[in-house]
Amino acid sequence: MMAGAARVFVVDDDASVRKSLGRVITSAGYTVELFASAREFLACPPPTGPCCLVLDVRMPGVTGLDLQKTLAGAVHRVPVVFVTGHGDISMSVTALKGGAVDFLTKPFDKKALLDAIARALAKDTRDLATEARIGNIQARAKLLTARESQVFALVVTGMLNKQIASELGVGEKTVKAHRARVMEKMRAGSVAELVRLADGVGIIVTAA
Amino acid sequence: MGLTWYLGVDVIAIVLATVLGAWWLLRHRAAGTRAQRLLEDRLRFETLLSGLFAQLVHVETGGLDAALEGALRQMVTFLGVDRGNLDEYVEGAPGIRVSWTAPGIEKLPSVLAVSEFVWTAETLRRGGIVRFSRAEELPEDAALDRRCYERLGTRSHLSIPLHAGGPMLGVLSFDSVSSQRDWPDDVTNRLLLLSEVFAAALERKRIELSLAERLRFQRLLSDLSARFSGALALDFDDEVHGALRSIVDFLGVDHATLLEFPRAGVPARSWTIGEATDAGHVPWLMLRLREGDVVHVSRLAELPDEAATDRRGCLALGVKSLAAMPLRAGGVVIGGLVFATGFAERGWPHELIEQLSLLGEVVANALAWTNAEREARRLRQELTHIGRVSAMGELTASLAHELNQPLTAILNNAQVAQEYLEADAPDLGELREILSDIVADDQRAADVIHRLRALLKKGALEYVPLNLNDVVDGVARLVRSDMVIRNVPMILDLTQDLPNVCGDRVQLQQVVLNMVLNGAEAMGEPNGRPHALVIRTSRAGAEAVGVAVEDSGTGIDAKDLDRLFEPLYTTKAEGLGMGLAIARTIVDAHGGRLRASNNAGGGATFQFTLPIAAERAR
């Protein structure tokens, strides 16, 4: 991954800390965008491409933890590196449970910050790839008819054609034909592969 | 004046009776020329007498001595004698003599020893008069007196004791030096009448002087009280010296020393006007003072044998006479007041000693009071400091945050700069900017430390003109992070052009800090209602300004409202219960008022008002 392609967002209400963070991150070759408050950050268009957020915990108005909660609802979860001048254990637990990559207590070494940023960006890159794959699978799954979707859901639970036919109240031949179309539309070579794809779509496995 | 009026009536009655008598004589016995001469003589005397009376009654006290001298001159001329003397007795001091001596006649020496006129003095003391045409007429047991009269050239003499219904006030006497003369009874009787006029004048002088003296003493007492009650400032020593100076001036002595005996943990102290008297010089005196005795000697010879060291000490210091008062407070002797003369011996009459005892009481009370007040003030300051430290303790977390911000920025910037320096061609412009940011952040950290230290320091009180807006601003800077951590929005509503108050900055900031922390604590988490802590400064009437801290918390329970400011009363789990008690003590000491009330729309308001500082005339 090219560092230059990755973007790092910094949200800290303290101007001099914000500016110095910007310098450190820029010096590591990342593109930095600075925000004085959570609101300011949220007002910007959602990021595309690998990125991460360096976020101050304590800020007047919307706090860092509030922002983390808000972001958790988004399609793409931006990895968060928390920085705080005053950290306590419960606060860091909340942050890490909420999916934070790291929780740094000010003042921190440049290396600690850049390491955390690197990990966050790696995670984001991975997440983006996973998202892309899932998106792909979900696009294929959309091609399935309602009956094919039913068959798909039952096939991945390990049911035999006969069992599926009885379950759906159709002939075994019909099931066989649906199954072939599912394999084709999902571009799966084997049932094992189909099961892996089903993981990506998620919802289907529970179908009963 | 009642007394003068009474005496006046008395004498006028006598004069009237005599004049009427003379008129009667003139009408019925005008036949004989001798009688007529007598009559004229007598009329002349009556005229003189009423003239003298008028002069002496109407003259001001200050001009009395001159008037007496004038009266004596007229008497001497009238009687055809050579010397007229008026010797006034003064208790505990040499008498005062007013005299008139005819030209060409030797004046009397200024002091006549009583020991040389024993018989005369005794006769006068018993109320008798002394008169002789020739010294030989004096009785056998007045042999000494006779020799003395002869030595003074006195050929004929008349002495009349002066009374005004009380003890002897003095003696009126006439000497004939150039010739010998008789003192017929009618002349003597007239002179007795005259002596009453002189006695009245002396009595009036005595009363008026003692009245003036008493007024002067009253003024001294009130001066001392005023000095000591205002002497808690740093210039305590100045005030004590001032007080001693005014006592010295009042008494007309040369040295004065105020001693404070050592107590548990407090060393002995002393203040001196004039020559410093070292306690080591006068061990006997110190012992007597410690035992609570009043000591006074007019002459060093009066010191007892066991005070031999003291006598030597006094000689070495040039002390001629002294008086010492023990100072008692709460039944304990805490020190002493010692007065001494260095130029002349002086008596310490009973009345004076009584006044000195009274002075001693005032000084002892003042000393005890200032000591107690000083101790109380020290404790109060200690307590105030503890209160401040504990309030600051509550801010620890936010202050760490406050310090961490600049430290973080400095570390970040410094590490980037290091990296830049390793480049082949470092960007000097960028480096310069980084360094200036580092300096700014360092300054910021230093400011935090400075504010902290200012509030934590244990300094002496410093009353200076202050603007309450500045006081509030200082506190607001200090608690800003804390309010962010607590998630309490803080709003400053400061009235511009607020007149100054006079106060101690640190203590007033402590009060505001306490109010703000209390308010923030009461607020907790936002729960839908308006959620803010408002710090407001305003005018409070024409003569005061105030600070109010308004929270939107739970308000104060009615049962707590009354006891809120009591020491050790707390509604908090971790509170000491001293914060508000200390705050109220501070505000009281600044002449202001601190109170708490519930807001109509929920929450509570703590506010204090302080009097506006008087404009200093420059």
Q: Are residues A119 and A170 in the same domain?
A: no
Residue A101 domain flag: yes
| Rounded Cα–Cα distance for residues A81 and A6 (Å) | 15
Q: Report yes or no: A11 and A38 within 8 Å, Cβ to Cβ.
A: yes
Q: Which residue has the tokens 């003239």?
A: B51
Are B394 and B517 within 8 A, CB to CB?
yes
Contacts of B489 in chain A (CB under 8 A): 60
Q: Chain A: give the shortest CA distance to residue B236, in Å.
A: 49
B440, A59: Cβ pair inside 8 Å?
no
Are the Cβ atoms of A59 and B484 closer than 8 angstroms? yes
CA distance A38 to chain B (A): 14
Whether residue A101 sits in one domain with residue A12: yes
Asked if the Cβ–Cβ distance from B444 to A107 is below 8 Å, we say no
Q: How far A200 CA lies from chain B's nearest CA (Å)?
A: 41
Residue A90, in any domain of the structure: yes
Contacts of A109 in chain B (CB under 8 A): 411, 415
Helix/strand/coil for B322: strand
Amino acid identity of residue A100, one-letter, is: A
Let me know whether A125 and A147 are in one domain: no
Contact A20 B413 (CB under 8 A): yes
What average pLDDT does chain A have? 85
Do A123 and A148 share a domain, yes or no?
A: no
Please measure the distance between the N-terminal and C-terminal CA atoms of chain B and give it in whole angstroms: 48
Asked if the Cβ–Cβ distance from B412 to A20 is below 8 Å, we say: yes
pLDDT value of residue B3: 47
Residue of chain A with shortest Cα separation from B434: A20
Q: Give the model confidence (pLDDT) of A145-176 as tens digits.
A: 888 888 888 888 888 889 989 988 888 899 99
Residue type, B185: D
Q: How far apart are CA B198 and CA A115, in angstroms?
A: 116
Low-confidence stretches of chain B (pLDDT beneath 50)? 1-3, 617-618
| Residue A127 dihedral angles phi and psi, to the nearest 5° | -60, -40
Of B404, B441, B484, the CB nearest to A106: B404
- The sign of the torsion formed by the CA atoms of B245, B251, B252, B254 equals negative
Would the pLDDT of A199 be above 80?
no
Considering the domain boundaries, does residue A40 fall inside one? Answer: yes
Both A91 and A70 in one domain: the answer is yes
Contacts of residue B600, defined as CB under 8 A and 6 or more positions apart, other chains included, come to: none
In a domain, A137, yes or no: no
Taking 50 as the threshold, does the pLDDT of residue A2 lie above it?
A: no
Q: Is there a single domain that holds both residue A160 and residue A110?
A: no
Residues of A with CB under 8 A from a CB of B: 14, 16-17, 19-21, 23-24, 27, 58-60, 63, 83, 85-86, 106-110
Instruction: Say which residue the tokens 């599912």 belong to.
Output: A182
Domain for residue A158, yes or no? yes
Shared domain for A195 and A116, answered yes or no, is no
What domain range is A77 assigned to?
A: 3-131
Instruction: Write the pLDDT tens digit of every residue in B545-604.
Output: 999 999 988 888 887 777 777 766 666 655 556 678 888 888 988 889 998 989 888 889
Q: How far apart are the first and last CA of chain A?
A: 42
> One-letter amino acid identity for A206?
T
| Chain A residue nearest residue B404, CA to CA | A85
Q: Least CB-CB distance to A17: which of B408, B440, B485?
A: B408
Cβ <8 Å between B437 and A24: no
Nearest to A107 among B408, B416, B434 (CB): B408
For residue A110, give how far its alpha carbon lies from the nearest alpha carbon of chain B (Å).
6
Does residue A116 sit in the same domain as residue A160?
A: no
Query: Do A189 and A95 lie in a common domain?
Result: no
How far is residue B157 CA from its own chain's centroid? Answer: 51
Please check whether residues A104 and A16 belong to one and the same domain.
yes
Q: How far apart, in Å, are the Cα atoms of B150 and each of B80, B153, B154, B178? A: 20, 5, 6, 13
- Which of A131, A156, A177 is at the close of a domain? A131
3-state secondary structure B141-163: HHHHHHHHHHHCCCCEEEEEEEC
A34, A81, A86, A90: which to substitute to probe chain B, counting the most B Cβ within 10 Å?
A86
Domain endpoint, select from A131, A158, A187: A131
Question: For residue A206, what pLDDT is reported?
Answer: 43
Among A18-32, A48-62, B81-95, B552-566, top mean pLDDT goes to A18-32
The answer to whether position A207 is within a domain reads no
CATH number of the domain enclosing A188: 1.10.10.10
Question: Whose CA is closest to A194, among A132, A131, A151, A130?
Answer: A151
Nearest to B397 among A20, A86, A108 (CB): A86
Q: Give the total number of structural domains in chain A.
A: 2
Locate B388 and state its tokens: 């401040």
Residue A208 lies in a domain: no
Chain A residues touching residue B404 (CB < 8 angstroms): 85-86, 106-107
Nearest Cα of chain A lies from the Cα of B485 at a distance, in angstroms, of 6
Closest Cα in chain B, distance from residue A83 (Å): 10
Q: Which residue of A has its CA nearest to B484?
A: A60
Which residue of chain B comes nearest to A62, CA vs CA? B487
Q: For residue A55, what is the domain's CATH number?
A: 3.40.50.2300
Query: Residue A138 falls within a domain, yes or no?
Result: no
B241 CA: distance to closest CA in chain A (Å): 57
* Residues of B in Cβ contact (< 8 Å) with A14: 405, 409
What is the H or E stretch that residue B306 is in? none
Q: Are B518 and B605 in contact (CB under 8 A)?
A: no
Q: Looking at the DSSP assignment, which residues form a beta bridge with residue B296?
A: B323
Chain A residues within 8 A of B442 when measuring between CB atoms: none
CA distance A59 to chain B (A): 6
Judge if A126 and A28 occupy the same domain.
yes
pLDDT for B117 equals: 85
Distance CA B618, CA B209 (A): 42
Tokens read off for B129: 């008069």
Rounded to the nearest angstrom, the minimum Cα separation between A115 and chain B is 14
Q: For residue B415, what is the nearest residue in chain A, using CA coordinates?
A: A110
pLDDT-derived band of residue A204, with 50, 70 and 90 as boundaries?
very low
Domain boundary, last residue among A77, A106, A131 = A131
Question: Beta-carbon neighbour count of residue B390 at 10 Å?
Answer: 16
Comparing CB atoms, the residue among A16, A21, A83 nearest residue B406 is A16
Q: Tell me the range of A36-40, A81-85, B230-234 where mean pLDDT is highest.
A: A36-40
Task: Count interface pairs A-B at CB distance under 8 A.
Answer: 73
Q: Is the peptide bond before A107 cis (omega within 30 degrees of 0)?
A: yes
Per-residue pLDDT at A81 exceeds 90: yes
C-alpha dist (Å) from residue B316 to A138, B245, B275: 118, 23, 11
Of B402, B404, B489, the CB nearest to A107: B404
CB contact under 8 A, B434 and A23: yes
Chain B, nearest residue to A12 by Cα: B405
Q: Please indicate, yes or no, whether residues A83 and A186 belong to a single structural domain of this protein.
A: no
Which chain A residues touch B440 with a CB distance below 8 Å? Answer: 16
- Cβ contact B171:B162 at 8 Å: yes
